[in-house]
Amino acid sequence: MHTLLHIVATPREDQSRTLQVSREFVSELQAKYTKLRIDTLNVFTESLPDLTVQRIAGKSMLMAGKELSKPLEEPWKPIECHIQRFISADMYLLSSPMWNFSIPYRLKQYLDVIIQPRYLFRYGLNGPEGLVRGKKMLVIASRGGDYSPESPIHSYDFQEPYLRTVFGFIGITDVQFICIQPVDARGPEVASQRIADAKKKAVSIAENWQP
């Protein structure tokens, strides 16, 4: 049985335009793979550990190739739980709006929690090596404006480049994007059409998705 980890990075739930499209993808994928398990992690409702002085010290020890000292083992456990949940998934769906040209702050916190040395990456003789290999991801992102390559504000898009970089760093290079844009700047009619187009694309990707 395969597991899809659905990382939700919006607090809007039923009001979310991003999740309207994500639900189409998940529904189609479940119809195709009837035994697929969906693990939904909403970063806005999930208890994410703060990166305290102790936890930063733990990361520094791991980066230096050392084992965690006894006082740091207990504070590290919540981080390790989130890491294990992430790496146990076979595939990923990330639902995230663009906030201020990038990602919501709670998603950034989640990534800072799970991307740890020896778990998701390591440093080899030729530099960093991602340890999450052979897995794929779909990112569904809604944007108020139009940041497509043809747009005069395309250079303001720090969302897609960042996500491709950070997941590529840990070994996930098979990443597809569905960008729903613009959903604010050109009125409700354009927004509705863009959402409808994105739903069709999500269904098409799900139909051809191979774990």
158-186 pLDDT, tens digit per residue, is 999 999 999 999 999 999 999 999 999 88
Question: Once rounded to an integer, what is the mean pLDDT over residues 35-50?
Answer: 96
Which domains, ranges and CATH numbers included, belong to the chain? 3-46+77-207 (3.40.50.360)
Rounded to a whole number, what is the distance in angstroms from the first to the last CA of the chain?
Answer: 11
pLDDT band, very low/low/confident/very high, at 92 (cuts 50, 70, 90)? very high
Write down the mean pLDDT value for the chain: 95
3-state SS, residue 174 = strand
Overall size of the chain counted in residues: 211
pLDDT of amino acid 58: 87
Q: Using the predicted structure, report yes or no on whether residue 211 has a pLDDT greater than 90.
A: no
pLDDT, tens digit, 9 for 90 and up, residues 9-35: 999 888 899 999 999 999 999 999 999
Which range among 39-43, 61-65, 139-143, 144-148 shows the weakest confidence by mean pLDDT?
61-65
pLDDT of amino acid 185: 81
DSSP string, 62-95: HHTTPPPPHHHHHHHHHHHHHHHHHHT-SEEEEE
pLDDT, tens digit, 9 for 90 and up, residues 59-89: 998 888 888 888 888 888 999 999 999 999 9
In this structure, are residues 60 and 72 in contact, taking their beta carbons and an 8 Å threshold?
no
